[in-house]
Structure 1
Amino acid sequence: MNTTKVTNKKTLPNKKERHRLFGSVEAGPRTKPVNKQEMADLQNTKKDFMFDIDAVGISNVKHPIQVSSSLEPKFQTTIASFTFTSSIDKDSKGTNMSRFTEQLHEYHSANFFINIDSLKQFTKDLTSRLKQKDACMEVTFPWFFERKGPSSNLTGLNHADVTIKVTYDIDSGYDVEVSLTGTITTLCPCSKEISEYSAHNQRGNVTMTVSLVEDFDEHEIDWKQVLLEAAESNASARIHPVLKRPDEKLVTEHAFENPRFVEDIVRLVAADLYELPYVEKFKVTCRNEESIHLHDAIASVTYDKNNE
């Protein structure tokens, strides 16, 4: 039997010729300056550009961060998404975008931990760097925490999505807004009431956005844990990463004993937030991923204590 393998090997042009084949051309003459001091700075052009701009900057900046927590793990590294902005007056053409990421890298190199105090300093320094009257920084990241099964005590990691937004204005000072989205279990009260045997349940997502008082001390109170507890303690049941059969029995029975509509969730969570003296205003939303519908169920409550 003839086992000789016949191949037709291609002869390819070299890499430079291949690039030329797909449109590359030789470099042309260089006439513009290469030194930064000699380059035109269009963003710093001063003219009447008709309108002030509320916010200009960059978003969706992915970067590793360090976070501390009152729950285990006490210190953790995670990935955050940043947004940086500042306002500009109508006599300025634009802002220097590179200064945002330049400062982020400098802070990261100096062992930057994400918290309210560090973000306050960051935005104040950013205002000076941009030579503007204000700056805003928003950071969103997954915060991880340990959760034990109610019977087995077997431990795993859950996470909640956290956002911190800090605005600094030379005249009015700081404005701090924090947000947390926690995942819960809800059991339908209507289903429990009308069904002979059971009730349907679903996964709910509770988002709490709160404005904190100016003298709030995060070294005494971990607001992440407080908001997480506000969501979970008012749910039908908590979410667990590890459940053995005795755990599952306790969790499902607890849900059956605590049925909740989305309307119930937002009102109960709002009551907890209202009682916190360091919360000035808040918005609570709940979105249930309905298990017997294709649609979600939603509800929200907004309250400002300053208007009382």
Structure 2
Amino acid sequence: MKHQAKALPVKQLPSKEKRHQLFGSVKPAPKTKPVDKMHMADLQNTKKDFLFDLDAVGVTKVKHPILIYSFMPPYTQTSVAEFTFTSSLKQTNKGTNMSRFIEQLASYQKNGFSTDLELLKKFTKDMAKRVEQQDATIEVSFPWFFERQAPDTSLIGLNHANASIKMEYHETKGFHIQLSLGVSITTLCPCSKEISEYSAHNQRGNVTMEIRVSDDYQEEDLDWKKVLLEAAESNASARLHPILKRTDEKFVTEQAYENPRFVEDMVRLIAADLYETPFIEKFKVTCQNEESIHMHDAIAEITYDKTKGI
């Protein structure tokens, strides 16, 4: 015999309008304020003495797709970047027009927005005009991917570093460009290697390099991301790899043992490479090791201005 399905109980619900009323919705109140822009109050453009100039005002944590061009494969990649857009504000202005920063981004997106420095220069200068200020700053942070080949098997996967660009424009001072790259590496403890009968502890190190570039730097001739990546990885105990088979692991482990590094060693060696790079005028290098035998991290930092010799 076939079993007949039991009829499910039916709940009688009020209409959607009544459900909304149940949860607090009310009818619109009579409208008394202007609905056309010409008659609306413009508080941001109020002109009075508002006590202080502002160094920066704008919008931050703006996520947006962006094109990245690289000298390492993948040569063109699409990523999601996080933006901050700001300008200064005079004491006589109450506020800035926040929507104009996003309007500027939307207008550039139509033709494809990228991390190209020349494009960002034009964008920042145009943004200053749009918000009617003498200066503007754009900060953009994004993950940059690059292929990494295993040392013995040659298997290829993708690694990434965290890149950022800070572009400042002033109508009389021109442009100021600061670039940054965060790279993860392996370091093996020299002290552990020295005092132990065998083996040595190692850890992941996180290197951050911030640089100021010269006015004549041309990105199409030399990719700053690749330069900074090499400065960090070539001075480490070993590079990180997305794919390692047994023969690769043996190679990397032995390489790290042959190249022990303190955090102090890392920042000094990287600083030497950045000092020898012609287009870099000023740099700051930080290395922070996630210690494998301590609860704390180890950190070292160095700043050097080549234009001042200090």
Same fold? TM cut 0.5: yes
Distance, in Å, in 2 between the alignment partners of 1:40 and 1:81 is 32
Cα shift at 1:22: 1.4
1:173 is aligned with what amino acid? G
Aligned to 1:181: 182
CA contact (8 A) 2:66 2:112 kept: no
Cα shift at 1:247: 0.7
Structural mapping, 1:1-308, within 5 Å: 5=6, 7-308=8-309
Distance, in Å, in 1 between the alignment partners of 2:12 and 2:198 is 74
After TM superposition, the structure 1 stretch with the greater mean CA deviation from structure 2, 111-120 or 3-12, is 3-12
Cα shift at 1:88: 0.7
Specify every segment of 5 or more residues in structure 1 that has no aligned partner in the other structure, as ranges.
none
After TM superposition, the structure 1 stretch with the greater mean CA deviation from structure 2, 91-100 or 15-24, is 15-24
Cα shift at 1:8: 4.4
Partner secondary structure for residue 306 of structure 1: coil
Cα shift at 1:10: 2.9
After TM superposition, the structure 1 stretch with the greater mean CA deviation from structure 2, 108-117 or 20-29, is 108-117
Specify every segment of 5 or more residues in structure 2 that has no aligned partner in the other structure, as ranges.
none
Cα shift at 1:33: 1.5
Distance, in Å, in 1 between the alignment partners of 2:5 and 2:247 is 66
Cα shift at 1:12: 2.2
The two structures have a TM-score, normalised by structure 2, of: 0.96
1:17 is aligned with what amino acid? K
The alignment's C-alpha RMSD in Å is 1.4
Partner secondary structure for residue 238 of structure 1: coil
Distance, in Å, in 2 between the alignment partners of 1:165 and 1:4 is 67
1:87 is aligned with what amino acid? S
Aligned residues: 308
Cα shift at 1:37: 2.0
Structure 1: 4+ residue segments shifted above 6 A: none
Distance, in Å, in 2 between the alignment partners of 1:133 and 1:219 is 29
Distance, in Å, in 1 between the alignment partners of 2:13 and 2:195 is 74
Cα shift at 1:228: 0.3
Q: Could you give the per-residue CA deviations for residues 19-73 of structure 1, whole angstroms, max 9, x where no partner exists? A: 1111111001112122222211110111110100000001000000001000000
1:113 is aligned with what amino acid? S
Identity %: 62
After TM superposition, the structure 1 stretch with the greater mean CA deviation from structure 2, 206-215 or 112-121, is 112-121
Distance, in Å, in 1 between the alignment partners of 2:76 and 2:104 is 23
1:56 is aligned with what amino acid? V
Partner secondary structure for residue 106 of structure 1: helix
Cα shift at 1:16: 1.4
Q: Could you give the per-residue CA deviations for residues 87-112 of structure 1, whole angstroms, max 9, x where no partner exists? A: 01000001000111111111111122
Distance, in Å, in 2 between the alignment partners of 1:264 and 1:3 is 79
CA contact (8 A) 2:56 2:87 kept: yes
